[in-house]
Amino acid sequence: MAELVEVAATSEEEFLAEASDAVAVITSWGFRISSSVVAGLNECIVIGVGSVGVDMVDVEAATEAGIVVTNVPDVFIEEVADHTMALVLAGARRMREMDSMVRRGDWFRGRPLLNEVPRLWGQTLGLVSFGNVARAVARRAMPFGMRVIAHDPYVSELKMTGEGVEPVSFDELLERSDYLSMHAPLNAETRHMLSGREFAAMKESAVVINAGRGPTIDEAALIAALESGGIAAAALDVLEQEPPATDNPLLGMDNVILTPHVASATTRMRPVTRRRVGREVSLALRGRWPMSCVNPTVLPRVALERWQPVPMERGPNR
């Protein structure tokens, strides 16, 4: 039976004073497990992350130290897909602008604006990355009559076509998408994956959606594209800096819909996530491979038993 100890640390030194001899660490948000923290974990076997993204952990440092890192990639997929689809619909119907018009007393200005917006049926939804959330979004978008295309160099084209999604190159994704939804994990390859060049390649009528990781989009370039009319609108659940600075231009734009990083939040999310991350850590502490290891190259070097096949249906966990 493992003893659970909550560490309310505000610095790396405070954390390591309590956790240096821990055999497992469970984390989510609020405290980064940096390379220096990893170096101070003398007994650690596993770091369990209670989210899909693991950018709060220096995974390379953990791998070098022989520590398994796990996540929960399949717990709140449907919730995030629901929220993403809500952002698509809100962006399509310019809900922020419609709401502002009513509150300002501009009742009759809404229809002329929407008269310039094509109906959703027949529009193209582009998915950047094709992991679990993107697949769930594709299944939601198709009944609305949307064509769905995707780019993900780590997922088989047959997996995409099996879901009724057309695989395309990244440049074609940018050029064809009426709605572009970001689903890539945050890593060195995907940071600022959408920047000035990418926005310039998109349609001026395009709407950008992000309910994944904020820094995958270059926010300054996004603001410039919105201000110049390079793209039409954005609907974002995540930002580069959270919470945003009070002078962030996105806060004052009528063509930008913002929600406060809540796509996964429901009554189910926290208890189920905690149980799942607990099971992952428990597997490692009992000497077995976890179900979702984000640094699988570490597994041959640790004294854990392989007891299940390695899933290969999705791209990298990080």
Residue numbers annotated as active site: 213, 242, 261
User: Are the C-beta atoms of 70 and 50 separated by less than 8 Å?
Assistant: no
Phi, psi of 299 (to 5 degrees): -60, -40
> 221 in helix, strand or coil?
helix
Residue identified by tokens 């995030």 is 80
Q: Which residues contact 209 (CB under 8 A, 6 or more apart)?
A: 84, 87, 88, 91, 179, 180, 181, 182, 234, 235, 236
Pull the structure tokens for residue 163.
């879901």
Q: How far is it, in rounded angstroms, from Cα 269 to Cα 205?
A: 35
User: Are the C-beta atoms of 214 and 185 separated by less than 8 Å?
Assistant: no
Task: Of 150, 165, 186, give the one whose Cα is nearest residue 56.
Answer: 186
DSSP β-ladder status, 124-128 and 68-70: unpaired
Residue identified by tokens 């926005």 is 199
Q: Which residues contact 163 (CB under 8 A, 6 or more apart)?
A: 135, 138, 139
- Count the alpha carbons within 13 Å of 136 in the hemisphere toward its beta carbon: 19
Pull the structure tokens for residue 55.
């950018």
Longest dimension (CA), the chain: 68
Q: Which residues contact 293 (CB under 8 A, 6 or more apart)?
A: 68, 69, 70, 299, 317
- Count the alpha carbons within 13 Å of 178 in the hemisphere toward its beta carbon: 17
